[in-house]
Amino acid sequence: MTGYDKAFAAPLHEEMTTVSHLECSVTGKRYEAGQIWNLSEAGWPLLVRYDLEALRQGWNRDWINNGPSSMWRYAPVLPVRNPASIVSLGEGMTPLIRTTRLEKKLGCTDLWVKDEGINPTGSFKARGLSCAVSMAKELGIKKVAIPSAGNAASAMAAYAAAAGMEAHIFMPVDVPQANFIECKSFGAHVTLIDGLISDCAKIVGDRKEKEGWFDVSTLKEPYRIEGKKTMGYEVAEQFQWTLPDVIFYPTGGGVGMIGMWKAFDEMEALGWIGPKRPKMISVQADGCQPIVRAFETGAERSEFWKNASTVSSGLRVPKPLGDYLVLEAVRKSGGTAIAVSDEESLDAGIELATLDGVFAAPEGAACVAALKKLLDSGFLKPDERIVIYNTGAGLKYLEAYSTRYPRQASGEADKLGGMITPR
């Protein structure tokens, strides 16, 4: 019996999944499962729906421990039908780390970091791209293309390589060096663009039909969100099927927040959790905060953020396609949206690393900076259970952090650990 078979301990169907259909996230129009789709006819993201009532009768959460130690332990609520289609590099089941020293300094009592930086290719993007590439394989797709601010490109390149697919990647020219080198090493066709991710997306959109590429841009295919939602299943499982009071999520495209909100509804329908939801906190950078601005003005959708700029490359998304879904989760949960400066993010990242040994990406570190502000303002109570999602490894952002540690050579070793040059 394979790990994927074990996830079904008492299988309800021969197929792995219980997908019933896909539906437009705005109009609700239904689309047939098992077909190649990008956006709905109305131009909105598609959401995968499952026969949760049938699944509730035939799948018990207590069986999950028998499944693989990856996000595929939740296979019945993932869209892949055939286990042979799964392209996995061990993504998911990331640690939930109690940050005892940071919580003491900040004056809170129950603070955790969900560290997505240990995923394959060093970020949470591995979840979404494992699912998207697996579905592309199942649907017979041979070429995939993506515009990316960095980490999604690295993940797609890795999973496409594992699947034997042709990968075409478009990234801003100032993308972190780690992402560029990763993508090239995985054999992807990489094009650097003098512009933003929105400019990269336009190129993919203009060329995909001619080149025969399947577009796996954020929310322009239905399955990255399904991989990302496993972050919600995991945090519930790791807390013994209770949800935290607060979730901080660094928001660029916002797919992880949308996915977790979807996961919470699915788990309630399965009878695994109750109606309680965490306050969802959307964190952005001062130099690119379309969600924050929309939240503050009461708008249902965001406006394009001009001249977007931040060292947190994953937050440099001037107009998220799924902005209305992010805003819905924030508002329904009683949460908020907040922006912090790059300086605050980097300093908070160093503080988290120094106090608790977690070297977070600037995006995750931005959540630490935001937490300080919301505790100081009284928006959050010190005794609430708070989870920060660190979406990537700090090691992938050495250029950004290097601004805090300029290196100077000297003839003698500095008492603080400076560089020694030969005489």
| pLDDT tens, position by position, 294-349 | 999 999 999 999 999 999 988 999 999 999 999 999 999 999 999 999 999 999 99
Does the structure show a pLDDT above 80 at 409?
Answer: no
pLDDT for position 6: 42
Q: Are 66 and 81 in contact (CB under 8 A)?
A: no
| pLDDT tens, position by position, 391-402 | 999 999 999 999
Does the structure show a pLDDT above 90 at 421?
Answer: no
Residue type, 312: S
pLDDT for position 10: 39
Q: Are 312 and 36 in contact (CB under 8 A)?
A: no
**CA–CA gap between residue 11 and residue 9 (Å, rounded):** 6
| pLDDT tens, position by position, 81-126 | 999 999 999 999 999 999 999 999 999 999 999 999 999 999 999 9
Does the structure show a pLDDT above 70 at 14?
Answer: no
Q: Domain coordinates of the chain in residue numbers?
A: 1-86, 96-118+229-403, 124-221
pLDDT for position 3: 39
Q: What is the mean pLDDT of the chain?
A: 92
pLDDT for position 180: 94
| pLDDT tens, position by position, 354-407 | 999 999 999 999 999 999 999 999 999 999 999 999 999 999 999 999 999 887
DSSP of 114-177? EEGGGSGGGBTHHHHHHHHHHHHHHTT--EEEEE-SSHHHHHHHHHHHHHT-EEEEEEETTS-H
Does the structure show a pLDDT above 70 at 234?
Answer: yes
Banded model confidence at residue 417, pLDDT cuts 50, 70, 90:
low
Distance of CA 240 to the CA centre of its chain: 22
96-118+229-403 and 124-221 in the same fold: yes
Q: In 3D, which of 2, 37, 5 has the Cα closest to residue 23?
A: 37
| pLDDT tens, position by position, 250-268 | 999 999 999 999 999 999 9
Q: In 3D, which of 72, 84, 168 has the Cα closest to residue 120?
A: 72
Distance of CA 97 to the CA centre of its chain: 18
Say what angle helices 342-356 and 362-377 make with each other, to 10 degrees.
90
Would you call 94 helix, strand, or coil by DSSP? coil
Which residues partner with 30 through β-bridges?
23
Q: In 3D, which of 344, 364, 404, 392 has the Cα closest to residue 176?
A: 392
| pLDDT tens, position by position, 144-175 | 999 988 899 999 999 999 999 999 999 999 88
- E strand or H helix at 64: none
pLDDT for position 407: 75
Residue type, 292: V
Does the structure show a pLDDT above 80 at 4?
Answer: no
83, two tokens: 């286990």
CATH 3.40.50.12280 fits 96-118+229-403, yes or no: no
pLDDT for position 412: 55
**CA–CA gap between residue 67 and residue 261 (Å, rounded):** 23
Does the structure show a pLDDT above 90 at 7?
Answer: no
* Number of residues that this document lists for the chain: 423
pLDDT for position 406: 83
Does the structure show a pLDDT above 60 at 422?
Answer: no
**CA–CA gap between residue 265 and residue 50 (Å, rounded):** 12
pLDDT for position 149: 82
Task: Provide the whole-model pTM.
Answer: 0.91
pLDDT for position 316: 92
pLDDT for position 13: 41
Q: Which CATH architecture has domain 124-221?
A: 3-Layer(aba) Sandwich (3.40)
